Structure 1
Amino acid sequence: MIEPEPFRIYLMRHAQAASAVPGGRDFDRVLDERGYAQAEMVADRAADLGYVPDRLISSTAERCRQTAEIVRRAVRETLEITFVDELYNGTPDLYATIIAGQRPARSVMLIGHNPSIDLLLEGLIGKAERRAAMPGGYPTAGLAVLDYGAQADSGGWTLTNLLSI
């Protein structure tokens, strides 16, 4: 699915969004008050732990844009955000292809949507480990940190950390 480069992947689900307004598009939903708080807390924790990606890629949906901007401000003001339209309704395979195309970056953060982000994580670390880490499903503003071959006996991706509120 994804080769060993980049060696670290950050998979983040957008923070909690407000309900759709009558006649409005799902794509245009913005973060609600709780969502802003979630994104800020997770981004601040990521920065404190030194989780700073070389590249930040986000869906163009408004709630993802807002989440990405909060992350950028927390981890590194000069971090450029690449917005990709296809992530909005993209499949887990598309998410993986976009991440794999970021070479020679050594770390990539992708901010996207469920169920694709959850299914990608499951595909990288396995169903049992994903369910053990997130028994209630992928939380809003959840940030999974994955390293390639992080354990001596590992031949693939390992969930190194999970940040969520």
Structure 2
Amino acid sequence: MPAPPAPGFRLYLLRHAKAGWALPGQKDFDRTLDHTGFAEAEMIAEMAADRDFAPELILSSPAVRCRQTAEAFRRAVGEDLNIRYSDALYTGAEDAYRDIIIGQSTAVASLLVVGHNPVIEEILREVLGEQAAAIPYGYPPGALAVIDFRERPQAGSLPPGKLVAWLDPECHVR
């Protein structure tokens, strides 16, 4: 049986793992993962590595909790993975995330975006349409969606994608 064709583009959407509440005087930006969050980030990263889910590039919000989640992923999947940080993934809305995804070089065939809710969930629902009903309880911290597209996203909007995998630290794998 022939192997299925390679996707035109693969998008990984990773919501940062569970973070602690801001301490008195601490900015939201500086919130760190709590003990559960560190464990979730490591678990999801290992599960992704076990399934050979390895993006060519990681784009992350510069918020501390996202950096920590991205680093766990890089350690598990490949130390040579390049992580870039974008302020728009911390401050931006759905259109900023969309523009960042669409704006990547055509040489990048797979991209991991590490960001925040509700925007991560909005992007997921945009590209999955009715398939998103398979994820009825929102986008939990630390969850990873793996989405394949037949063609590269181009200016304007993200094309419909197909959910290849959903890794959720709360119920391990769906």
Q: Under a length normalisation based on structure 2, what TM-score does the superposition of the two structures give?
A: 0.85
Superposition pairs for residues 4-153 of structure 1, below 5 Å?
Answer: 7-103=9-105, 104-126=107-129, 128-130=130-132, 132-149=133-150
Report Cα offsets for 1:81-106 as digits up to 9, x if no partner.
00111111211111111111112200
1:157 equivalent among 149, 157, 161: 161
Gaps (5+ residues) in structure 2?
1-6, 152-158, 170-174
Give the deviation of 1:60 after TM superposition: 0.3
Residue 6 of structure 1: how far off its partner (Å): 6.0
Shift of 1:163: 0.5
- The superposition leaves residues 12-42 of structure 1 with CA deviations (integer Å, 9 ceiling, x where unpaired) of 0000001110121111100000000000000
Aligned to 2:172: none
Gap runs ≥5 in structure 1: none
Q: Partners of 2:85 and 2:22 in 1: how far apart?
A: 22
Aligned-pair CA distance for 1:133:
2.5
- CA RMSD, aligned part only? 1.6
Give distance in 2, aligned partners of 1:118 and 1:72. 22
Instruction: Letter of the 1:139 partner, please give it.
Output: P
Runs of 4 or more off by more than 4 Å in structure 1? none
C-alpha contact 2:8 2:150 (8 A) present in aligned 1? no
Identity %, equivalent residues: 48
Matched residues in 2 for 1:52 and 1:23: separation?
38
Please give the secondary structure, in 1, of the residue aligned with 2:24. Answer: coil
* In 2: Cα distance, 1:120 partner to 1:17 partner: 21
CA distance in 1, matches of 2:40, 2:143: 9
Equivalent pairs, count = 155
TM (norm. structure 1) is 0.89
Deviates more, 1:48-57 or 1:132-141: 132-141
Secondary structure of the residue aligned to 2:43 is: helix
Secondary structure (helix, strand or coil) at the match of 2:81 reads coil
Match in the other structure for 2:3: none
Provide the C-alpha distance between the structure 2 equivalents of 1:20 and 1:6, rounded to a whole number of angstroms: 40
Is the 8 Å Cα contact of residues 125 and 157 (structure 1) preserved in structure 2?
Answer: yes
